[in-house]
Amino acid sequence: MFNSRKLPLSAIIFIAVCSNTYRETVGQIALVEETESDVIDDIYEGCGEEAMKKFIHSDLLEQELKRSEGLQKAWKANTNCPSQTSKVDKNLIYALSVFHFGDVMFLQNLNNAVGTMGVNITTYERDFHYKSLHFLLMDSMKQLKTKECKPVYFISENESPKVGSKVRFSGFAKVHLSREDLPDLDGETLLSITSCSFVNLDDYICHKYSGGLISPAEVFTVEEIKQKSDETGYYTNIVLKHSALNGTHNCFMFPRSAAPVSTQAPFLLLAVLSLFTLTL
């Protein structure tokens, strides 16, 4: 298995271009605990209109585009997409396109920033230069996500979560949509994921087999960890099942507008009410 930390930059780029694995093209994202506080996992629940005004209807989006050459190049690379996407906000399409057309260094910088700059509001406001892109990506997760929970796959580094623990990705994870799309698994760690909140990029990007996109706000339960084998060799299979959507930094810049964010909240409330009724 390749270890990108020991490879020169030219080798990393070569692997990213030639490999069918999405790992190298989205930065060194990893599984982290659900409560990891450094990850920017804002889902803008309760402050969507304020965020739209501040990040999109102002000049901030243009400023961030001008600031990053990598973002500029990837932003409108999908402009000639067929008319099936004409009913979708073009900015959502442009944002999703970044994960197909973005170069290695840009995507690494983006996900590294997402994974580290939620440490406090000062760092976020001063140093996170993808506020508009992050908002659009999270908005696309709300509007364009698949209607049903489905299996997806991700080739990871040597992850070692505990069975029963709650985890999330440290950035935006580009995943394989089919088991048949996976490369040689010998010596690899495969995350077999049931996701209920991912976007199928094939539906919005004019390139088939573009994969899917999972946000850092989707929380999973580690169901199983086993050593397995196929015709290519032995690999570690980690089974992750959707648990909730939970933005620990919900409405980071708009705290007065923040709403409860965990999708488990209604079920927890029902359980409390039921228990209260039984005690009467």
Across the chain, mean pLDDT equals 83
Residue 270 domain-assigned (yes or no)? no
In a domain? residue 274: no
Q: Average of pLDDT values for 70-91?
A: 78
In a domain, 2, yes or no: no
- Rounded Cα distance, 44 and 113, in Å: 18
pLDDT reading at 101 higher than 80 = yes
Tell me if 166 is assigned to some domain: yes
Per-residue pLDDT at 11? 35
Beta-strand relationship, 31-33 and 166-169:
antiparallel
Range of the domain at 81: 24-265
Q: Is residue 19 part of a domain?
A: no
Structure tokens at 242: 């959707």
CB 20 within 8 Å of CB 181: yes
Contact predicate 169/31, CB 8 Å? yes
Q: Which residues contact 26 (CB under 8 A, 6 or more apart)?
A: 99, 107, 108, 111, 171, 172, 173, 174
Q: Which of 101-110, 131-140, 254-263 has the highest mean pLDDT?
A: 131-140
Task: Please report, for the domain that includes residue 48, its CATH number.
Answer: 3.90.176.10
What's the pLDDT at 160? Answer: 83
Residue 189 CB neighbours (<10 A): 20
pLDDT tens digits, 203-234: 888 777 679 999 999 999 999 999 999 988 99
pTM score, whole prediction: 0.82
Asked, for residue 249, whether it belongs to a domain, the answer is yes
Q: What is the pLDDT of residue 82?
A: 60
Write out pLDDT tens, residues 253-266.
987 655 555 555 44
If one counts every other C-beta atom within 10 angstroms of the C-beta of residue 7, the result is: 14
What is the tally of structural domains in the chain?
A: 1
Q: Please indicate, yes or no, if residue 10 is contained in any of the structural domains.
A: no
Residue 12 lies in a domain: no
CB 193 within 8 A of CB 149: no
